[in-house]
Amino acid sequence: MRLLFIGDIVGRPGRRAVAALMPELKRQYRPDVIVANGENAAGGFGLTMGAAEELLSCGIELITMGNHTWDNKEIFTVLTEHSEVIRPANYPPGAPGNGFGIIRVGGGGTSGAKIAVINLNGRVFMDQADDPFRAFDEIYDEIRASVSAVFVDFHAEATSEKVAFGWFADGRATGVFGTHTHVPTADERILPMGTAYITDVGMTGPLNSVLGIDTSIIIRRFRSQLPERFEIAKGPVSLNSIIVDFDELTGKALAIERVSVIFEN
């Protein structure tokens, strides 16, 4: 089987790129499962109902979030009405929404493979969150007997924390994909026990930007140390994603490939 994971979708330019490029991505790569990180999909911060439904209508089957989960008040309604949107599982007990989702692939009714996706926030240089390692253990023990594969969106800043988590989950997770930094890394590999790993998938947002934001704004902030309203950059959009082939019988990854496409927005 094959999974397509799309890196952090940034604002309207990112959403437009996904809508425009999805037909060709499906035709060329024929993924069985499509997942994307959408925590920046509404204006660069958070997710609205409209943005969520726009992405789901493109063929994305599950949307993960991150440290900007609560930035838009509509997220509470989104999480209530759309089980296809999940938030980091290591928020404190009582947080609305679910920290993992199940996608049924192929067949109908109760047939077909069941693919689990777990969303976790890192803790190094990030807002406070519960232990992501323990959260993974608890969820994995709960679902491992009932699913064919387990993928993790590990939304974190520090590369060391992401790499450590990849080794921690090796042999249990089918894939561990780092998100959050918006810069794709070139370290995709299959770990020894069969887990596909990459430190950061990258973003789906303006190419000529600083992490999706207008370059002049970010440069002024660095030079002046003064706050300034962020604006999404204009121009061509880079869609960063990965393709993972995996065996649904063993839950082991077989191959991982970075896929980057430029959309002239």
Question: Active-site residues: which are they?
Answer: 68
Residue 172: strand, helix, or coil: coil
Spatial CA neighbour of 166 closest among 130, 126, 100, 122: 122
Positive or negative: CA dihedral 86, 92, 94, 95 = negative
Sequence-distant (6+) residues with CB within 8 A of 12 are 43, 232
Q: Which two tokens stand for residue 28?
A: 């060329």
Determine the Cα–Cα distance for residues 149 and 63; give it in Å rounded to an integer: 17
Please answer whether residues 206 and 236 qualify as being in contact, where contact means their C-beta atoms are separated by less than 8 angstroms.
yes
Spatial CA neighbour of 36 closest among 76, 14, 58, 8: 8
Give me the count of residues in the chain. Answer: 265
